[in-house]
Every structure is written in C-alpha cells, then in structure tokens.
Chains A and B, each alone.
Chain A
Amino acid sequence: MTAADVTSVSEIDELRSQKTFIEKSADMFRKQPLGAVGFFVVLAMIIMAIFANYLAPYDPTLNDFAAMLIAPGADYWLGTDQFGRDIMSRLIYGARTALFVGFAASFVGATCGLVLGVMSAYFGGTFDLIFQRIMDVFMSFPLIIMALAIVSIFGPSTQNVIIAITIPFIPRCARVVRSNALAIREIPYVDAARALGFGHARIILRHMAPNVMAPFLIMLTSFVGQAILTEASLSYLGLGVQEPTPAWGLMLQGGAEEYIESEPWIAIFPGVAISLAVFGFNLFGDSVRDVLDPRLRTQ
C-alpha cells in the first residue's frame, strides 16, 4: 500500500465520518437536551415575530368593545382584554416587540462592549486603567436601576427602551471580552501585525476581535433574555413601550392590577410568555456557552 493509497483511504474514512447538518444537530441536541428546548422556544418566538401578520387571528390593536373581557374559548383562544382586543394576537405581535428590543439592545450592547473591551486590552496602561474604572461605575448599578434612570431622562418609547437596555450591557460585555483579549494581545501575531505597520483599528477589529468571538457570542445570547425581561419590566412600570403597541410587559401591566381576580387570563398569558422567552433564551445561551467555551468542552 502506497502513501497515496493511505491518504485516499483516510480521506474516504473522513468523508464517511462527515455528518449531515441534521445529524450534527441531532448529536448536539442529544448532548444538550435543555439547549434544544431553549432553541425551539427561541425558534418559535422568531417564527411568531416574523409571521405575526399571518399567524395572528385578529388585529392586535383593534378595540372591539362588543368583545371585551371574554374568557378563553373557541372564538378567542386566550380570551380578550378590557378593550376587546384578542390576547393571542397581542401575544404573537408582542413577540415581535420583545425580539426587536431584545436583539437590538443585545447586539448593539455586546458589539460596543466587544470593541471597547478589545481596545482597552490592546492599548493597556493608563487608558485601560481609566476605562475600566468608568466601566466599574456603570457596572455598580443594577441593570434595571440603570435602565430606569436612562428612560426617566430620555422618556418612554421603544427606541429609548433599546438605548436604556443597551447602555448597561456595554460594560458587562467589555469586561468579559477584555479579559480574553489581554491573553490574545501577548500572542506573537499581534506583534507581527504591529511590526508590519498595521493601524490600531485594523489590529483591533481584524486580528484581535475575531479571536474573542466565543465570549462575545455567549454574552450576546445571555443578553437577549435579560433584555426581554428588562423591556417587560420597564413596560410593566409604564416606562417602556406604550399603548396600543402590543408588548408583553404592557399587557401584564394593563391586566394585573384591576382584572387579576375576575379575568385572570389577561395577566396570566403575558406572564407565561415572558417566563417562557427568558427561560428559552437562558437555556439556549447556556448551551452555546457549553459548546463554545473550550474549558467546558474538554471536561
């Protein structure tokens, strides 16, 4: 048997061992069953958000006083609220609001954190020292308190809610990314890039940032759940999304106080939706961490 034959046999073995996407996914779901649950919850939310126009049986903002406060039944599966609006339709459209706020705040917050964290590690010295103290100040406030303060300043609206949730995410991501980037900064290829005369921006964005993608993705997925919960909390407090926009926290606020005894479905279903979404994103985020974190992968 020649060397060439050996190569061809190993290639054939490799080809044989290659699995389809479905097989790989099945493997991953077997290893991470809770992650799979989370994934399907997230997937369901995404489908609801994208196809809300087709899935929702009624206009979510249409006041129909002839149908006010109807209990769950054949016509309205999850009942109606005090304005006669179909709760199921509002939940489906609410997924759009939740995901929009969740993804926008998480993506912008985590991305800003990524760039700032790598910058801080790359420049080091006084810049790093001052920058980290600023991050300390931001991180000393709990997420919800910080978001409340920001919304109070800018006023309640969907855009301002996104800003309010994004800002507290930045230092949280920057801190984690920086610790990873500190190690990467010492690797010779960074010195090599510097020796070749590349600018700071190129080194940070092209050479260092891609190597801290694992913690970035972990932070990103965990932020989505937090962002959804914070948006719901702000809306519940009347500082987030405003009527008549369908949003889960807002639905809970509208129903919890006055109708919880006599028409509990108004509050229960949005509450369940919020819990499920956060639960789903957290499970999914944990699995992503388990897969991407090398220390956990080797255990």
Chain B
Amino acid sequence: MKPSIKLAIAMGAGAAFTLGAVATASAAPKRGGMLNIVVGSKIPSYDGHRETTFGMIHPIRPFYSLLIRVNPDNPQSTSDFVCDICSNFTKSSDGKTYVFKIRENVKFHDGTPLTSQDVKATWHKLIFPPKGIASSRKAFYGMVESVEATGKYEVTFKLKYATGGFIPALATPFNFIYSKKDLDTHGYKWHMKNINGTGAFTFVQHQPGAFVEGKRYANYHLKGEDGKNKPYLDGYKAISAPKMAIRLQAIRGDRAQIEFRAFPPKARDDLKKALGDKITVQESDWNCVMGFSSNQKLKKFQDVRTRQALTLGLDRWGGSKYLSKIAIVKTVGGTVFPNHSLAAKKEELLKLKGYNPDMAANQAEAKKLLAAAGMAGASVELLNRAVDQPYKVVGTWMLGQWKKLGLKTTQIVLPTGPWYAKFRKKKDQETMIDFNCQGVVNPLIDASKWLSNDIASNNYANYQDRQLDKWYDQMNRTGDEAEAYSIMRKYEKRIVDEKAHYAVSFWWYKINPYRSYVKGWNIAPSHYLNQSLDQVWLDK
C-alpha cells in the first residue's frame, strides 16, 4: 500500500473517530427511565446534618439541594464550585463577607416556596445548633460569625477571619437545605424520619433494608440541556446490598446500573472481562487517607522512636504498586489530598521518614530506633475494622511490614460499632488503622484531624501538640496560599516525621465500573460528592 493511501486511511479513520467522540460527547441527554443504584450500607437516619455515611448520602441526597455544590460537570476540580439554590454570590474585598442571591423559582416538594429564611434556618441549625441537636460538621464553620437573611432572596455570611477553607466547607454535600416551616413546626429532629427537600427527586417510599425510591420532581429549579427542567430520569431506586458480591452481580446482571462508592480492582477487571464495553469505568484519587496511629496514652508508644520505627517499616512505594491491584488504595501521599495545590510534591515527600524508597535503609534505621527504645522484638497489636476494602487488606499488609522489623504482630478486627467504641470510649488500643475521609477536598479544614485531642474529637492517637494547633490556626487565617503551603509543610513534617503522631500509608482510590448506558455522571474525589443525580440520564 502506498504511503499516501495509508495516510488517507489514517486521516479518515482519525476523522471518523474524532467525529464519533464529539458526537458522543455532545449527545443530547435522553429523558426517562429508572436508575437502579446499589448501596453497600444502611441508612441510620435521613438527616444529612447529623449523619456522616454514604449509606445515607447515596439514597437521600437526590431529595435535597445545597446552597452551593461542586460543579457536577467538573467534580475532579478542587476549586470549581457552582450555585445550587443560589443564583450567584459575591465576596467582599476583605474576604470576610459573602452575599448569596437565592433563586426565586425554588419550591420544596410540599409546594412551599424557598426563601432566604429557609437558608438562614438551615445554616443556623448546621453552625449554631441548639443543645442536644447533632451537627456533625459544625467544627468546619469555626470561621463563621453570623448568617443573616438580608433580603427575601439574599443571605449574608459574615466571617471572623478570611479563609480559603470557607467556600469548600459550604459545598459539603451533607448540608441539605431544610424548610424553616418544617423546623419551626416539627422540630429539629423531624428530618431524621421525614423528607421534604427541593432536590431533583421526590420521596416515594423507603422499605427498610430493601430500597429507597424517588421519582422525578417536575418543579426542580435547574434546567437541562434541552431547556426543560431537570432531572432527566423518571426516578431512581437505591437498593440496599451490604455484600459486595451481591452489588457486583446486580450490575453484572443489569438489575442495577451503578454503585457510587467503589469496587476493588478485581471486581472492575471481572466486570470488564465479562461485559466488555457494556461497562464503563471511572477512576479517581479519593479524599480518604489511610494510615495508622499509635495510642500515646500507652507507655510503649510515648517514645517517638517507636512511632518513627513503625512508620519507617512501611514500604509505601512498593505497597502501592501491589496493593493497588487488590485494594481500593493507590497513591502515596502526605496529609494533604495528592492533587491539591497544598499537597507536598514528590521530592518533598521523599525527604520525610518512611518515604525513602530504599527499604533496606529504612528497615535498618527502624530496627535501630526500636532497639534504642527498648522495643526490639516487642509485640504490637493492630486494631482494625471488619471491613475488607480497604481496611483488612491494608491492615494485613501493615502487619507483614512490621514483621520484617522483628516485631510480633497481632490484629484485632472488630465490627464497625465496637471498633469505634474501642478507640473513642475505651481508648485502650495499641495501634490502629486510622483514616480521615472527607467530602469536599478542603485541606485547610481536613487537616483538623491532627490537632490536639482536646480540640479534634477524631484524634485517636490521644496526643496534645500545641505547636500543631498554632500552625493550624495560622494556616486557616492566612489568605496567602504560598504562606499556607509553607505552614502546611511544617505541619505535615511534624505529624508524619518529627513526632510521628500519624503515619499515612496510601490515599484511597475510587473505582466505579457501571453500565455504559448511564450517562452524565462524573466521578468526584469523594463518594459523598456529586450524588444529586439531576444530571444523570440513560442512553437506552
């Protein structure tokens, strides 16, 4: 074949491919159909302000709206936020006042129009809850001084200090907008068992242990690409399926189309192998960091050399290579989400204890430290959660790593309830698989985990380190990103290296294989994000 003919064929094929890709990308969303999603956890209550689990978010989030949210078309960005029930917002020059204009076409599912009073009441419940009312993310809003309705459709947030952490915190997907009428009439606990939102779907039924069903809300406030109101789907069913094998088989058998948390790599490969291009896979780094902490209440872990030895013993780079084949972890990182501008660069990471790829050197140093601390050949017990992915897999890997240091390792694996009780109430664990899972990527707020234990309720290493508290405060109060970056490096080095309060192993890795005819959903760096389903449609 002549080169010119080859070139012509290649150009033709290329053009066809490009056109096809464009045609696919710009394909108009179709309306109709039911989306079946499988959810691997239970619904503790319907109240987003109170709950912290995807078991609630995945089935219930589509009934509600937020003030702002991550851009559903670009959820991978850590700085792209768009209005949901607001039409726009402005920031004052000093960065301490934010004014949100509220859309005038938003109605609750019971027909009540939404006004700024509803937004104010919601945010007061979230930030300044009355005694006895749970608001799980209240600590995110320490910078907020007041929330006021400054017009029928205008809400103003005043801050104590300017911080880059405010807007991402506002976009937290648990911050459902409730009706002031419901809060005033039924009280602050009514939403635990009742639903009245402004989301893209209205509540139909919940069969406990089986499914939650929603149907299209005709008066939803956002328009689709066709100029008509979203959502595109007629409805959805969130089917409860705690066993992974059942969720996997549901997608394989087309009884469900998608699972929004994640499947392990093996499940992805099996699905792809069985169904080929009928399965689409989206993958992403996940705003969940996995590591371990040592209980500094116990004498044997009060010596920093012991803690440093344990972190030195982990072969992070090698582990990432292999564990990413069997578990939902992958990226080696520090305390900041790897893709964020505040995250350490690789050359900075390599200088931290335990990040040197030369494991022989790391292990030799670790053994010396253990010997100096009187811990050579000592026993170490790891507390773990009875959840395979990724807890038990990573835990088993860690034990193998520590065994190479000559330590005698054992593992206690407890179901979620007793697991939490052991380190939150009894506080008698030795080392534990410790994690920090957040929704919106917001390192300035997410880093609160490593504050002293009298400030951070999720500090399970039980230490107090006032230097960290001071740096955290400085980081949050500076408006200068370069300065925040610099402080963050000192903060991180102290946590994982100098004091070895906490050892990061890997960041989780989100793998979502789903039926290819599901369109419009984009993977976010958290299983809590981008679950409103208003942009999802079925290409059938």
Contact = CB atoms under 8 A, between A and B. Distances in A.
Nearest to B243: A257
A127 interface: no
Interface in B243-297: 243-245, 264, 266-267, 269-270
Contacts of A63: 396-397, 400-401
Contacts of A155: 412, 414, 418
B386 interface: yes
Interface string B379-406: 0000000101000110111011101000
A82 B403 CA distance: 18
A63 B388 CA distance: 17
B270 A262 contact: yes
B267 A258 contact: yes
Interface string B352-382: 0000000000000000000000000000000
Contacts of A259: 266
Interface in A254-270: 257-259, 261-262
A155 B411 CA distance: 12
Interface string A74-109: 000000001100000000000000000000000000
B334 to A, nearest CB: 23
Given A83-B396, A83-B400, A238-B386, A68 B322 contact: yes
Nearest to A65: B322
Interface string A152-167: 0001110000000000
Contacts of B304: none
A61 B397 CA distance: 10
Contact of B325 (A68, A156, A157, A243): A68
A150 to B, nearest CB: 14
B413 interface: yes
Contacts of B20: none
B412 A61 contact: no
A243 B266 contact: no
B267 A242 contact: no
B400 A62 contact: yes
A261 B386 CA distance: 23
Nearest to B397: A63
Contacts of B264: 258
Nearest to B401: A63
Interface residues of A, number: 19
A243 B392 contact: yes
Contact of B244 (A62, A82, A238, A257): A257
Contacts of B267: 258
B411 A243 contact: yes
A244 interface: yes
B151 interface: no
B399 A243 contact: yes
B318 interface: yes
Given A63-B396, A238-B413, A243-B396, A257 B245 contact: yes
Max chain B Cβ within 10 angstroms of own Cβ: one of A62, A258, A259: A258
Given A68-B322, A82-B326, A243-B395, A61 B400 contact: yes
A243 B399 CA distance: 9
A131 to B, nearest CB: 33
A238 B326 CA distance: 19
Nearest to B403: A61
Contacts of A82: 326, 393
Contacts of B392: 243
A156 B399 contact: no
Nearest to A66: B322
Interface in A216-272: 238, 242-244, 257-259, 261-262
Contacts of A257: 243-245, 388
Contact of A156 (B244, B397, B413): B413
Nearest to B393: A82
A261 B269 CA distance: 11
Most buried by A among B244, B266, B323: B266
Interface in A134-191: 155-157
Interface string A6-24: 0000000000000000000
Contacts of A65: 318-319, 321-323
A242 B322 contact: no
A259 B403 CA distance: 26
A155 B400 CA distance: 23
A242 B266 contact: no
Contacts of B323: 65
Interface in B396-428: 396-397, 399-401, 403, 409-415, 418
Interface of A: 61-63, 65, 68, 82-83, 155-157, 238, 242-244, 257-259, 261-262
Interface of B: 243-245, 264, 266-267, 269-270, 318-319, 321-323, 325-326, 386, 388, 392-393, 395-397, 399-401, 403, 409-415, 418
Given A68-B326, A243-B399, A259-B266, 5 more contacts: A62-B403, A65-B322, A68-B322, A262-B266, A262-B269
Please name the 6 residue pairs, one residue from A and one from B, whose CB atoms are nearest each other, closest first: A63-B400, A65-B322, A243-B396, A82-B326, A242-B413, A238-B386
23 contacts: A61-B403, A62-B403, A63-B397, A65-B319, A65-B322, A68-B322, A68-B325, A82-B393, A83-B397, A155-B414, A155-B418, A157-B412, A238-B413, A244-B396, A244-B399, A244-B409, A257-B244, A257-B388, A258-B244, A258-B264, A258-B266, A261-B270, A262-B269
